[in-house]
Amino acid sequence: MSVNAELSPEGWVREQTEKILEQGTTEGVLVQDRPIVLFTTTGAKSGKKRYVPLMRVEENGKYAMVASKGGAPEHPAWYFNVKANPQVTVQDGSEIKELTAREISGDERAHWWELAVAAFPPYGEYQTKTDREIPVFILE
């Protein structure tokens, strides 16, 4: 991981990230008893590296980033960073990979949305809270 990456100002997100960095692995760092992975994105305006811990949604070596923001009416800040800079670092366990993100739609999104809700059921509830279709990126 980039040593210059910034931690989230959000307390619980910062704590998760610090625990991952301290342990050197995402193993055992859970949200509602579900595993997470640690993404490192690049700021759209600042160019700074930023840590983004998200639920682990993986299939055949590909990962999804679900821009749910808990069902808020607006996208999370990291969404715009990934749109501007699709090269993202993914840490799953102690394995770290550089992958490229792309936003998906249609049948591909439907498939990954199903995987995301299976991995973290609250995603389904989050979608009912907002008028926006929650964006999904695939990293490969």
Q: How far apart are CA 23 and CA 87, in angstroms?
A: 24
pTM: 0.91
- Number of folded domains that form the chain: 1
Q: Which of 92, 89, 94 is nearest to 139 (CA)?
A: 89
Structure confidence at residue 2 (pLDDT) = 43
Please give the sequence-ordered ranges of beta strands (E in DSSP) within the chain, or none if there are none. 30-31, 34-42, 49-55, 58-59, 62-66, 87-92, 95-103, 136-139
Domain-embedded: residue 84: yes
Q: Which domain holds residue 94?
A: 11-139
Task: State the CATH number of the domain containing residue 123.
Answer: 2.30.110.10
Question: To the nearest whole percent, how much of the chain has pLDDT over 70?
Answer: 97
Q: What is the pLDDT of residues 77-90, one digit of tens each?
A: 999 999 999 999 99
Q: What is the pLDDT of residues 37-74, one digit of tens each?
A: 999 999 999 999 999 999 999 999 999 999 999 999 99
Cβ(51)–Cβ(42) under 8 Å?
no
Which residues, listed in sequence order, are joined to residue 38 by a DSSP beta bridge? Answer: 53, 91
Residue type (1 letter), 8: S
Q: Mean pLDDT over residues 100-124, rounded?
A: 97
Matching residue, tokens 């991995």: 119
Structure confidence at residue 9 (pLDDT) = 79
Q: How far apart are CA 123 and CA 99, in angstroms?
A: 23
Domain-embedded: residue 3: no
Domain-embedded: residue 6: no
Reported confidence tier of residue 16, pLDDT bands at 50, 70, 90: confident
